[in-house]
């Protein structure tokens, strides 16, 4: 039964390698049917910090991760702009003066640094 799930993905991975993909390398694999990444999306991870801590109804928090419940996942976006939308929304609720710094880890391995001042 597991072979029904496993063998098509092994074939798809072999096809990707044959077309130039190197596992754990920096090249993005060519999408092929039934590959493990067929439905994958690009994800950007950002560490968002606030100074001074953002004051909300449930208390103050100094990072985006601290704003969510410990059992929930951190907010994840497909672009840096997605995090900027979240920061803008928090700026509207918390109000100025608030400064947010974004350190983002991009899918290509680079790091992006940005700052947002709430006005």
Q: What is the pLDDT of residues 50-68, one digit of tens each?
A: 888 887 777 788 888 777 6
In whole angstroms, give the CA distance from residue 98 to residue 65. Answer: 17
Is the pLDDT assigned to residue 94 strictly greater than 90? no
Q: pTM to 2 decimals?
A: 0.62
Domain ranges of the chain: 1-38, 45-117
Taking the C-alpha atoms of residue 53 and residue 99, their distance in angstroms, rounded to an integer, is: 9
How would residue 72 be classed by pLDDT, with cut points 50, 70 and 90?
low
- Count of residues making up the chain: 119
pLDDT digits (tens, 9 = 90+) for 9-53: 888 888 888 888 777 777 666 677 767 665 566 778 888 898 888
């Amino acid at each position: 039964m597991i072979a029904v799930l496993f063998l098509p993905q092994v074939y798809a991975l072999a096809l990707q390698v044959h077309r130039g993909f190197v596992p754990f390398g920096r090249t993005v694999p060519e999408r092929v049917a039934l590959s493990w990444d067929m439905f994958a999306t690009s994800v950007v991870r950002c560490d968002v910090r606030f100074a001074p801590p953002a004051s909300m109804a449930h208390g103050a928090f100094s990072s985006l991760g601290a704003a969510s419940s410990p059992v929930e996942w951190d907010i994840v976006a497909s672009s840096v702009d997605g995090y900027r939308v979240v920061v803008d929304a928090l700026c509207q609720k918390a109000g100025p003066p608030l400064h947010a710094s974004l350190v983002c880890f991009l899918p290509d391995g680079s790091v992006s640094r940005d700052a947002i001042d709430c006005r």
